[in-house]
Amino acid sequence: MTISIIGTSHIARESVEEIKQYIESKKPEIVAVELDAQRAEGLLRHQKTSVSIKDITKIGVKGFVFVKVGQFVQGKLGQLVGSDPGSEMRTAILEAKKRQLIVAFIDQPIQKTLQAFSKSLSWKERFQFAGDIVKGIFSGKKQLQELGLDKVDLKKVPSTELVEKMMKKLRDDYPNVYKTLVDDRNRYMVKQLIKLARSYPEKNILAVVGAGHKKGMEELLLKVDVM
């Protein structure tokens, strides 16, 4: 039994091809994806995560705004590269189903994540966010150069070095956001992978997650006796 993790970009065609090639060559028996059942159903139907004004009472104003801004940005970037956001996750599910493999949705429910996001965002982080927007308007190119993003090819998965640099900046500037959106979900997904491994001890597992989750999840798995 092995647990392998592929770190993807949600808009990169390179991720789609990598997943296809891995499933074809390595032949895992289980494909686990960074989705919950609700998001997976919407993705397969080519629908965005359904969040409306009435959901604010459940997920908070900040959670609502986060989803809408995220959908807008990913949609625009996807148009630039000719790829639908989440196409690599859809590919993983469809390739697995085509081969009659076990498909597992290992991410925590989106509403739980958004509720936690709304509660955890501090005033300091709100002001930091506002300041970053202003900086981006007046010195956006310089900031991109500092992060190494000025020459990024959106059709490819960012390098490990670049991903780590971006995650460090997120952790330093927005510690509560990092904990809620990255660290807590890493722990949740690793727990789901461990459950799968213990339920199917002889089957190889492929986990498909965003590139920002890969390193953290691998480090957590090293600390656990899976069997």
Our count of domains for the chain comes to 1
27 vs 21: CA distance, rounded Å: 10
- Tens of pLDDT, residues 118-154: 777 776 766 666 556 545 534 445 554 554 545 555 5
76 vs 49: CA distance, rounded Å: 16
Does the residue 227 lie in any domain? no
Does the residue 87 lie in any domain? yes
**Mean pLDDT, residues 49-61 taken together:** 48
**Mean pLDDT, residues 62-66 taken together:** 47
pLDDT of residue 80: 39
pLDDT of residue 146: 53
Asked if 184 and 121 count as a contact pair (C-beta separation under 8 A), the reply is: no
Q: Which domain holds residue 87?
A: 3-222
Summary mean pLDDT of the chain = 77
pLDDT at 75 exceeding the cut of 80: no
Does the residue 167 lie in any domain? yes
Q: Which band of pLDDT confidence, cut at 50, 70 and 90, is reported for residue 21?
A: very high
64 vs 52: CA distance, rounded Å: 8
119 vs 101: CA distance, rounded Å: 38
pLDDT of residue 98: 96
Q: Considering the chain, what percentage of its residues have pLDDT values greater than 90?
A: 39
Tokens of 131: 């300041």
pLDDT at 190 exceeding the cut of 80: yes
